[in-house]
Amino acid sequence: MTDEQLHISPRVARILMSEEAVYGLILVSGMIVVSGTLVGTSANALVTVAVTVFVFYLAHVYAGTLGRLAATDGGARLSTSIREAARHSLGMIMASVAPIVILLLGTTDLIDDMTAIWVALIVNAVLLGVLGWIAVARWTPRFWPRLLSALITAGFGLVLIALKAFIHH
């Protein structure tokens, strides 16, 4: 499956194919496990995830800005470094949209709290698998490397789902 087949713009595809997007999904899954286990409400998970992702995004932008400034030995402008770091880190924010929407549905009682938490975790694992598949598909047309990448990437989310199941029961 290509970006064109998925009807994704090249800019959005570049953001979603970043290490920040993969890291963001794993971070969100971890926060859902921790927050959902402590209180068990989708509202608590939603607030925890949203605040944590935002703080990690800001920290990532700050670190990226410092790295860009240091790498240029004073040759880069601060505003340019901030803008580039913010753009580079956007995948973390974009990757959190789907699970945040799902958790939001749980806070409105359209779906049960625990269902929202579990669905958000499962969607994250599926998204991780899709990102792993697409990333390797850009590298090779071969099926087995794509599948292996999808399974490894989804595996990070599956480990967190297993942790949630272990802690919850």
Q: Give 64-121 pLDDT, tens digit per residue.
A: 999 999 998 878 899 999 999 999 999 999 999 999 999 999 999 889 988 999 999 9
Kindly state whether residue 2 falls inside one of the protein's structural domains.
no
Q: What is the pLDDT of residue 165?
A: 80
SS3 content of the chain, % helix, strand, coil (to 5): 80, 0, 20
Confidence (pLDDT) at 11: 72
Residue 3 lies in a domain: no
> Do the domain assignments include residue 15?
yes
* CA angle, residues 43, 164, 149, in degrees to nearest 5: 110
Low-confidence winner among 105-109, 140-144, 161-165 (lowest mean pLDDT): 161-165
Q: Which pLDDT value is given to residue 39?
A: 66
Residue 5 covered by a domain: no
Please give the tally of structural domains in the chain: 1
Is pLDDT of 5 > 70?
no
What sign has the CA pseudo-torsion 146, 138, 119, 121?
Answer: positive
Has residue 140 been placed in a domain? yes
Is residue 1 a part of any domain in this protein?
A: no
* Residue 125, domain member (yes or no): yes
pTM assigned to the model: 0.85
Residue 44 placed within a domain = yes
Q: Which domain holds residue 136?
A: 10-168
